[in-house]
Structure 1
Amino acid sequence: MSSVGLQILGIFLAVIGWLGDIVICVLPMWKVTAFIGNNIVTAQTFWEGLWMNCIQQSTGQMQCKVYDSMLALPQDLQSARALVIISILVAVIGVLLSVAGGKCTNCIEDEEPLSEPTL
């Protein structure tokens, strides 16, 4: 059996992983494409994320646009969106179950059964 300290460390690391999962879900940098013309002035960087796409000009100006519909997404980003949302939900359930089942949590106290009176 593992000690309480290792269980708390595992829960802490699971929460950090869950927060990282949320961060990667929000970031627009899932697919990055750079186009550089004849000179550096015409350079553009395209970022495609799960929820929006962004264009960054060589001047530093960035324009982001939310996808109009679910069908506007490429198929790989549609599947990534679904899998990331599922992983966030499963991580929440896993953290809650690990907190509830850990040695550091007493949801139900072990009560000694009363001995039956003998006649």
Structure 2
Amino acid sequence: MYSTGLEILGIILAVAGWLGVMVTCGLPMWRVAAYIGQNIVISQVIWEGLWMNCSVQSTGQMHCKVHDSMLGLPVDLQAARALVIISLVLCIVGIRSTLCFLSFVACPPFAK
């Protein structure tokens, strides 16, 4: 009984981690730069993410552009993109394989 509770807690934490990686993957704010001109009227904040660049002007307008090619990205964002995708895939594989070995779930290949 005690191990079943720990198994359920482990699966819940694994799914929460997977959801956190998914949210992190979609955020456009991996690198933030602010540009302020001579006066505050023309200030601009640039968000650089894994999949797109967004520019927010002081008027509140936001313009986003999807990256055209992977080679146009800086090396650190290319590495981050690859590592995030690898972590998403490994999370899915880990959660799926863990579900087959739980004590209260019987998968056909591993049925007792």
Question: So what's the TM-score if we normalise by structure 1?
Answer: 0.86
Unaligned runs of 5+ residues in structure 2 are none
- 1:102 Cα deviation from its structure 2 partner: 1.0
Which amino acid in 1 is paired with 2:16? I
Moved more, 93-102 or 81-90: 93-102
Alignment RMSD (CA, Å): 1.2
| Structure 1 residues 45-95: Cα deviation after superposition (integer angstroms, max 9, x where no partner) | 000000100000011110000011111101100000000000000000010
The answer to whether residue 46 in structure 2 is matched with residue 18 in structure 1 is: no
Partner residue in 1 for 2:28: 28
Residue 39 of structure 1: CA displacement?
Answer: 2.0
What is the 5 A alignment of 1:1-119? 3-107=3-107, 108-110=110-112
Any idea what SS the aligned residue of 2:86 has?
helix
**Greater helix fraction, Structure 1 or Structure 2:** 2
Query: Which structure: larger Rg?
Result: 1
Q: Which runs of 5+ in 1 are unaligned?
A: 111-119
**How far 1:38 moved relative to its partner?**
2.4
